[in-house]
Structure 1
Amino acid sequence: MPTYNKLVRDRIPEIIRANGNKFNTEILDEAEYKKELQLKLKEELQEYLEAPEDSHAVEELADMLELIYSLVEVHHSSVEELEEVRKEKREIRGGFDERVYLIDVED
């Protein structure tokens, strides 16, 4: 029996059961949940960085976005507030559309 010890998506136990397998799970407290979300985000970032093709990269970005949505709630906020903060920062500092690469700044 493989041991995973990691946060999984909510429907994974249902999928495992449908495949005729048995499993053990536990529900994490808030501190453990936050820690595991952060670890999972690191895992998904690494998978994104190693993605061999665009379609795989987009899939990993979707996983990261799902984790970000969950982390927003852990930080007692909302996706709407996150989007507002993103828009404010974009308005004040810009986005990354122009591909500006800063080399140095003279004092």
Structure 2
Amino acid sequence: MPTYNKLIRDKIPEIIDSTGSSFNTRTLNEKEYIQELKKKLNEEVEEYQEAKTSPEALEELADILELLHALSKVHGSSIDTVEKVRCEKAQEKGAFEKRIFLENVED
């Protein structure tokens, strides 16, 4: 039996069960949950960076967005609040649309 030891989506146990396979899961405490969400975010960002096609990239971006929803909740907020903060920062400092690459600053 392969060992995974990783956070999975909520319906994965049902999907595994439907195949007739046996498995073991447990519910994480709050501290473990946050730690595993962060690990999963890093994993999904890495998968996004390795994506070869736009459809693959969009699939990984969707996973990242799902994790951002979960992370905003564990921090007592919502994705709407994260979006509001994003908009405020874009208003104050701009976004990344102009492709500006800072090479150096002289004092």
Q: Give TM-score scaled by structure 2 length.
A: 0.97
Q: Which ranges in structure 2 are unaligned for 5 or more consecutive residues?
A: none
In the TM superposition, what whole-angstrom CA distance separates every residue of 1:72-103 from its partner, at most 9, and x where no partner exists?
11111111111110000000000111111111
How many Å separate the matches in 2 of 1:60 and 1:81? 22
What is the aligned partner in structure 2 of residue 5 from structure 1?
5
How many Å separate the matches in 2 of 1:83 and 1:67? 14
1:20-35 alignment, distance < 5 Å: 20-35=20-35
What is the aligned partner in structure 2 of residue 50 from structure 1?
50
How many Å separate the matches in 2 of 1:97 and 1:52? 22
Number of residue pairs the alignment of both structures matches: 107
Q: Which runs of 4+ in 1 moved over 4 A?
A: none
Q: Which residue identity lines up with residue 46 of structure 1 in the other structure?
A: E
Q: Which ranges in structure 1 are unaligned for 5 or more consecutive residues?
A: none
What is the aligned partner in structure 1 of residue 59 from structure 2?
59
How many Å separate the matches in 2 of 1:7 and 1:89? 31
In the TM superposition, what whole-angstrom CA distance separates every residue of 1:27-75 from its partner, at most 9, and x where no partner exists?
0000000000000011111111111111111101110110111011111
- Verify: 1:76 aligned to 2:79, yes or no: no
**Identity in percent:** 54
How many Å separate the matches in 2 of 1:80 and 1:67? 14
How many Å separate the matches in 1 of 2:51 and 2:80? 29
